[in-house]
Amino acid sequence: MWAWFAAVRERADVKINIVFPATEDHVRKYRKQQYAMFRESPELYKNIVEPYISSLPKSRTQWVQDILDGKSEVEKVLFSSSDFILLPDMKWDLRTLSSLYIVAIARNSSIKCLRDLRACHLPLLKGIEAAAHSVVQERWGLGFSDLRMFVHYQPTYYHFHVHIVNANAGESAARMSVGQAHLLGDVISLLEVDGHVYERMTLSYQLGLESKLAELYRLFSTTRERATS
């Protein structure tokens, strides 16, 4: 269950996000922890990350499917096509333009993350880019250079989506840090150069050391060391 409770006053002193029900993954995500950089080769993706993604229950992204199926958040959808939808992210209060935050969610559930993108997905990515600019320009008057569009890797949930934020947004800028965000324009350009680039390249990113994926990296490393000793 996801919901917003808005106590409106002219100058808010604090912003509180409530997640309910909170899973262990939510607790790990928001608990203060140390971070480290990881370099994911195609081999490590096949041996660690892909099996991890495949092991996640469908219930983890059922809320996404409910949105795509029109079972929830119907009134919030800003744009809908056969390939994707646009709607406000839960982190945006729908009032403060400087913190505008929209998400584009692909309808194709087989695209889990950045690693799955191929040249055949270029129409989808370009469609998201064009629709986002059009919707934001029409509704809020922000131009091309006023938006950041990016893909997280690793993402919070494994159903492909694109983040669209105000370029001047302070809070979201923290989530644009090196080690997680890939600009949509760069993703498109790389796929135009090599349609299999995300299958072949090594990707670097940061992980919280309490995350399940970091734990799997440690286990894989320990197992490999024992096998070679």
Distance CA 155, CA 40 (A): 14
Q: 161 an active-site residue?
A: yes
Distances (CA, A) of 128 to 30, 106, 141, 187: 29, 9, 18, 12
In-domain check, residue 204: yes
CATH number (domain holding residue 45)? 3.30.428.10
User: Which contiguous run of DSSP H or E holds residue 190?
Assistant: helix 184-193
Length of the chain: 229
In-domain check, residue 229: no
In-domain check, residue 11: no
Report the pLDDT value the prediction gives residue 224, as an integer from 0 to 100: 83
DSSP class per residue in 10-40 = SS-S------SSPPHHHHHHHS---EEEEEE
Given the residues 161, 163, 182, 196, the one annotated as active site: 161
In-domain check, residue 228: no
Distance CA 170, CA 175 (A): 9
Number of separate domains in the chain: 1
In-domain check, residue 105: yes
In-domain check, residue 16: no
The domain of 77 spans: 33-219
In-domain check, residue 226: no
In-domain check, residue 129: yes
For the chain (229 residues), the mean pLDDT of every run of 10, in chain order, is 54 63 66 90 98 96 97 97 97 91 98 99 99 97 96 97 90 65 98 99 95 96 81
pTM metric for this prediction? 0.87
Report the pLDDT value the prediction gives residue 223, as an integer from 0 to 100: 86
Q: Which residues pair with 105 in a beta bridge?
A: 85, 161
Distance CA 21, CA 226 (A): 39
* Residues in contact with 207: Cβ distance below 8 Å, sequence separation at least 6, in sequence order: 35, 36, 38, 154, 213, 214, 217
